[in-house]
Amino acid sequence: MSPAGQVRDWLDERFGWDDLVAFIRHKTVPLHRYSYWYYLGGITLFLFTLQVVTGILLLLYYRPTPSDAFGSVQYIMTQVHFGWLIRSIHSWGANLMIFTAFAHMFSVAFFKAYRKPRELTWLSGIILLFLVLGFGFSGYLLPWNTLAFFATTVGTNLIGQVPLAGPWLLTFLRGGADVTGATLGRFFAFHVALLPGLATAFLLTHLLLVQRFGISVPPSLEPAWQAKPPAEREIRFFPNFMLRELMAWYLALGALGTLAALRPWGLGTKADPFASAPAGIRPEWYFMFMFETLKLIPARVGFMTGEALGVLVFGLAAVAWTLLPFLDRGGTGRKRRWAAGAVVFALGYVVGMTLYGYLVMAK
Amino acid sequence: MREDKSNPTQNPERRRFLEVLLGTGIVASLVSFFYPVIRYLIPPPSTDLGSNTVLAATVGELGINAGKIFRFGDHPALLVRMADGNYSAFSAVCTHLGCTVEYRPDLREIWCPCHNGKYDLHGRNISGPPPRPLTEFQVNVQGKDIYVSRTAAT
């Protein structure tokens, strides 16, 4: 017997290797005209692993103190071999990952894949989205540049507007009353220890649930899809789907490499907590829709400040969005349509306000 | 399995060609991914080489038969004032496993506390595990200042 065969037998005796292989061989993915949306979750997963790898590489040189942080990132960008590439891929990859996570979530929402029995898959996915936004928010501060410093001041201030828990949250996030070196230390700990741990746990849960319930077919396509013979309506996960997914990953990596090479991520100027804020302070694009909304609300509405009202409304909207599978239980006619309307409204609002922020307000 | 006219298994040469193409592509990709990462792992040479001369001490700071550790670039160095009042200076990095050595007035030797290595006052390894002598530096007294410089000759 060949050495490879012996290793296989050894593993089979202990772990039931052959059962595992048979299981992977039997797994299938539905094939229909919207199948390409299924690649988005996998691309997000790939970008996440890429973030882990480039993040570990950045950790080799990064120093999380107010005096050293900016200089260490500058050192990475200018002195370390290919440091500019690693950091640019980390920054661009973060943005691309948040984009694909949003796209994945909206595709799931449109295809109603969150419905029974996949409520918990949706729930774990929403938690992952919040974690990813937490990664973005905490990572943004780490280079300790002026823009990040003031964006974090504004962002944490807004979190401080949360009714009741606000002041406590503010102190917890900042590690004090103001954004200081203590904040940088905390954000660093969140970014490289707390969030990765949580994200890994929820990612495994998410994948396990996807595995358990299989991949959903959009209800609108389901009757026609069911009518087809199995050979035409699904492809094998391994190797057929996996190879296509790998091609998608390869394309994503190519896009990232191109962006990083042609548009290396900027660094700005070192933050000075005692200088006045520069004009045009704004958050990363994925917080833009909330930022613009808050600016449109009047300073005082009834007994609340405008910010508190905005934060409260967004909080309630996030809760409703999280509970979507429990609010939309299927059914027919009008009942079925309100959920689709809500998803269209949510997407329209997020895209619309983001564009408004960049095209109208930026001028 | 359905019959497929374009199936490369029915055309061994074409299959071989495609395999080579795919393999070359994958290998080239992997090289282009890992080359930057491996280069990244090795930090660029330190820019803080320090000057070739450093102010080690001032006259009167060291009594007869005494030693002082001072910083020379990125590494510690040792200035010794010998019994005859002359100065000598050495790298303070033990040639065995890199501990910092010290001057022992009682032995009139340079001693490494980690593994009991000993050097004489010319930096020569005379006892214990050190495999090589300590690098000796040049000492110049200018007025009240004692300067230590790297010497090309050993």
pLDDT, tens digit, for every residue of A178-210?
999 999 999 999 999 999 999 999 999 999 999
Q: Which residues of A touch B (CB under 8 A)?
A: 57, 60-61, 79-83, 85-86, 250, 253
For residues A276 and A142, what is the distance between their CA atoms, to the nearest angstrom? Answer: 20
Q: Which residues of B touch A (CB under 8 A)?
A: 29, 33, 36-37, 39-44, 47
> Directed axis angle between helix A166-174 and helix A181-189, to 10°?
90
E strand map for chain A: 28-30, 234-236, 300-301, 304-305
Give pLDDT tens digits for B11-56.
889 999 999 999 999 999 999 999 999 999 998 886 555 568 899 9
Q: Which token pair is A7?
A: 């290793």
Residue among A50, A80, A86, A251 with most chain B CBs within 10 A, to mutate: A80
Domain that holds residue A40: 12-267+285-361
Residue A335's pLDDT band (boundaries 50, 70, 90)?
low
For residues B121 and B82, what is the distance between their CA atoms, to the nearest angstrom? Answer: 8
* Measured CA distances, A2 to A5, A17, A145 (Å): 5, 17, 58
Asked whether the beta carbons of A265 and A91 are under 8 A apart, the reply is yes
Please tell me the total number of residues recorded for chain A in this structure.
363
Asked whether the beta carbons of B85 and B64 are under 8 A apart, the reply is yes
**Residue B153 in this model has a pLDDT that exceeds 60:** no
| pLDDT score, position A354 | 93
For residues A246 and B61, what is the distance between their CA atoms, to the nearest angstrom? Answer: 70
In a domain, A52, yes or no: yes
**Residue A112 in this model has a pLDDT that exceeds 80:** yes
Cis peptide before A239 (omega within 30 of 0): yes
**Residue B5 in this model has a pLDDT that exceeds 60:** no
- Kindly state the percentage of chain A with pLDDT values over 70: 97
Q: Is the sign of the CA dihedral A44, A243, A29, A24 positive or negative? A: negative
Kindly write down the DSSP assignment for every residue of A263-289, as one continuous string: SPPP---B--TTSPPPS-----GGGHH
Kindly state the DSSP code that residue B45 receives in the 8-state scheme. Answer: P
Distance from CA of A71 to the nearest CA of B (A): 14
Query: Looking at the partner chain, which of A80, A250, A253 has a beta carbon nearest the beta carbon of B40?
Result: A80
Structural domains in chain A (count): 1
Query: Looking at the partner chain, which of A79, A82, A250 has a beta carbon nearest the beta carbon of B39?
Result: A82
Average pLDDT score over residue span A255-269? 93
What lies within 8 Å, CB to CB, of A120 at 6+ separation is A209
Q: Domain spanning B53-149 has what CATH number?
A: 2.102.10.10
3-class state of residue B113 by DSSP: coil
Q: Is the sign of the CA dihedral A237, A242, A243, A247 positive or negative? A: positive
Distance from CA of A204 to the nearest CA of B (A): 26
**Residue A164 in this model has a pLDDT that exceeds 90:** no
Q: Hey, are the CB atoms on A81 and B42 less than 8 Å from each other?
A: yes
pTM: predicted TM-score of the whole model, two decimal places: 0.84
Where residue A305 sits, what CATH number does that domain have?
Answer: 1.20.810.10
Query: What was the ipTM of the complex prediction?
Result: 0.81
In a domain, A180, yes or no: yes
